[in-house]
Structure 1
Amino acid sequence: MHISRVDLNLFIVFEAIYAEGSLTRASLKMNLTQPAISHALGRLRQLFDDPLFERQGHVMVPTPLARSIIEPVRQALRGFEVTLNGVERFDPASSERTFSVALRDVLEASVLPPLMAELAHSAPSVGLNALQVGRRELESELAAGTLDAAIDILLPLSPDVRHTRLVRDKTVVLVRRDHPLVRDGMLDMDTYLALEHIMASSRRRGPGLEDFELSRMGLQRRIRLRCQHYFSACRVVSQTDLALTIPERLAQVVNQQFDNQILPFPLTMPSLDIYLYWHANVDNDPANVWLRERLTAVTATLPG
């Protein structure tokens, strides 16, 4: 079937139903009546000779065919959007656009404050959604335009996902002031291994990067506490004799109110590089270029 015989607006409706899982929510998202959404879905069903969505309770569940075509549809719609935006000048001072950026929770405390301060000055009506997205879904969401950019460690993604290094970071260790085993701001390996440690990780199990490096030397530390967030870990450090191994730039932020000692990690570690990711289909999109420039600028000012 030739594309000239197909109403492309139907695919916008298809994506809205898929994203919302509901005809009612899709109609609200698109500012259309529910009968209009239902009519468009009926035309799509005829076009594909497939129900595309089946009702299960209050949710419209996509069929296998719908799941197989959603990503190509989203990429095509994103391509049209980028083409249209490319002929328009993006004016951050007047734009009311909301950008979506994937950001690991350990980076939020470092990146969001200076970024929002920058937006308040140069783009007062621009909004930001900071999201945590599974690394397996990162590429497909960037391609579909549900994400505008992502900040993370170096990841094995396809050439369609562009990336550039934002910052280099190094590993440090936090211990409380007046720690009985740490004197004169010095921390050697014997003392480090004698300490009990906190691991801050969203994962339920598994070693940290520092544990891999220690194991290369035939060494092992004792993890006394495993928790989810560095802020919580930093507070525990301030009230106990436990130690926390942490990226330096993050330590400079989360440790401000606790005044723990920040000490060099007593072993040479690979640098903790952080990268900015975006999809090739927005390489020249003025709005995305502006967003990337802002993210690059604010990360360059982070302490550490």
Structure 2
Amino acid sequence: MHLSKVDLNLFIVLEAIYAEGSITRASLKMNLTQPAISHALNRLRQLFDDPLFERQGHVMTPTPLTRSIIDQVRRALRGFEVTLSGAAHFDPASSERSFSLAVRDVLEASVLPGLMAGISAAAPSATLNTLQVSRRELESELAAGTLDAAIDVLLPLPNEVRRAQLAGDQTVVLVRRGHPLVKRRALTLDTYLEMEHIQTSSRRRGPGLEDVELSRQGLQRKIRLRCQHYFAACRVVSQTDLALTMPDRLARIVNQQFNNQILALPLAMPSLDVYLYWHANVDNDPANTWLRAQITAAMQAAG
């Protein structure tokens, strides 16, 4: 079928139902009636000769065909959006744009205060949503425009995903004041290995970067506690003799109320470099370019 005979608005409906998982929520998102959304879905079903979605309880579950085409549909829609926005001047002062940024919770506390201060000053009506996105889905989310940008460590992503280094960070060790094994501000590797440690990770298992480096030297530390968040870990450190290894930038933020000692890690570790990611299809998008500048300035100020 020739493209001229297809209503491209139908694909906007397809993406909305896929994203919302519901005809009702898709109708609210698009400011259309539910019958209008249902009518568009029926036309799509005829076009593809496939049900596209099947109702399971209150959720519209995509069929295998829908799952196979949704990334292409999102890329095409994003291309149209970029074409339209690129033709217009982006005015932060009057924009009501909602930006989406993928950022790990480890970096969120560092970048958000400065970033929101900059956005609020220059674009008082713009909003920002921060999300934690699976690294396996980062490329497709950026390509589809469901994410405007991402902040993370160096990742093996294709050339279509652009990157720029934002900052570097060092790894430090936190212990409570008065820790019986720490007599001076300097921490030796022998003392580090003698301690019991907290490992902070959202994963159920697996070593930290410091454990990988120790294993290369035939060494191993004792993990007494594995938890999900650095704030909780810092609090545990303040009330026990456990040690916590973490990025320096975040340590100086979350440790403020606990007043634990922050010591240099007695182990050679590569710098924890942080990168900004965006897709090639928004290289010249004025709004995305502005957002990237705001993120870069916020990270530099937080340095």
TM-score, normalised by the number of residues in structure 2: 0.98
Instruction: Name structure 1 gaps, 5 residues minimum.
Output: none
Instruction: Name structure 2 gaps, 5 residues minimum.
Output: none
Counterpart residue number, 2:256 = 256
Report the number of matched residues. Answer: 303
Counterpart residue number, 1:21 = 21
Amino acid at match of 1:175: V
Moved more, 279-288 or 49-58: 49-58
Per-residue CA deviation, residues 115-173 of structure 1 (Å, 9 max, x unaligned), is 11222212211111110011111111111111111111111111110111111111111
Alignment of 1:120-199 (within 5 A): 120-199=120-199
Per-residue CA deviation, residues 92-122 of structure 1 (Å, 9 max, x unaligned), is 1111111111111111111112211222212
Counterpart residue number, 2:38 = 38
Alignment of 1:215-230 (within 5 A): 215-230=215-230
1: CA distance, partners of 2:125 / 2:173: 40
Amino acid at match of 2:6: V
Offset at residue 184 of structure 1 (A):
2.2
Amino acid at match of 1:87: A
Offset at residue 302 of structure 1 (A):
1.7
Offset at residue 47 of structure 1 (A):
1.2
Offset at residue 9 of structure 1 (A):
0.6
Counterpart residue number, 2:102 = 102
Counterpart residue number, 2:203 = 203
Please give the secondary structure, in 1, of the residue aligned with 2:136: coil
1:87 paired to 2:87: yes
1:245 paired to 2:245: yes
1: CA distance, partners of 2:21 / 2:184: 60
1: CA distance, partners of 2:4 / 2:122: 42
1: CA distance, partners of 2:192 / 2:57: 56
1:62 paired to 2:62: yes
2: CA distance, partners of 1:23 / 1:168: 45
Per-residue CA deviation, residues 33-52 of structure 1 (Å, 9 max, x unaligned), is 11111111111111111111
Runs of 4+ in 1 over 3 A off after TM superposition: none
Counterpart residue number, 1:114 = 114
2: CA distance, partners of 1:281 / 1:245: 38
Please give the secondary structure, in 2, of the residue aligned with 1:146: coil
Amino acid at match of 1:266: P
Amino acid at match of 1:42: N
Percent sequence identity is 77
Per-residue CA deviation, residues 40-70 of structure 1 (Å, 9 max, x unaligned), is 1111111111111122222211111111111
2: CA distance, partners of 1:45 / 1:246: 52
Please give the secondary structure, in 2, of the residue aligned with 1:147: coil
Please give the secondary structure, in 1, of the residue aligned with 2:84: helix
Amino acid at match of 2:177: R
1: CA distance, partners of 2:89 / 2:3: 29
TM-score, normalised by the number of residues in structure 1: 0.97
Please give the secondary structure, in 1, of the residue aligned with 2:224: strand
2: CA distance, partners of 1:240 / 1:301: 34
Please give the secondary structure, in 1, of the residue aligned with 2:263: strand
Per-residue CA deviation, residues 206-234 of structure 1 (Å, 9 max, x unaligned), is 11000011111111111111110011111
Please give the secondary structure, in 1, of the residue aligned with 2:246: strand
2: CA distance, partners of 1:57 / 1:231: 39
Please give the secondary structure, in 2, of the residue aligned with 1:74: helix
Please give the secondary structure, in 1, of the residue aligned with 2:218: coil
Counterpart residue number, 1:7 = 7
Offset at residue 267 of structure 1 (A):
1.1
1:289 paired to 2:274: no
2: CA distance, partners of 1:203 / 1:56: 30
2: CA distance, partners of 1:235 / 1:298: 27
Please give the secondary structure, in 2, of the residue aligned with 1:224: strand
Please give the secondary structure, in 2, of the residue aligned with 1:137: helix
Offset at residue 256 of structure 1 (A):
1.3
1: CA distance, partners of 2:156 / 2:230: 26
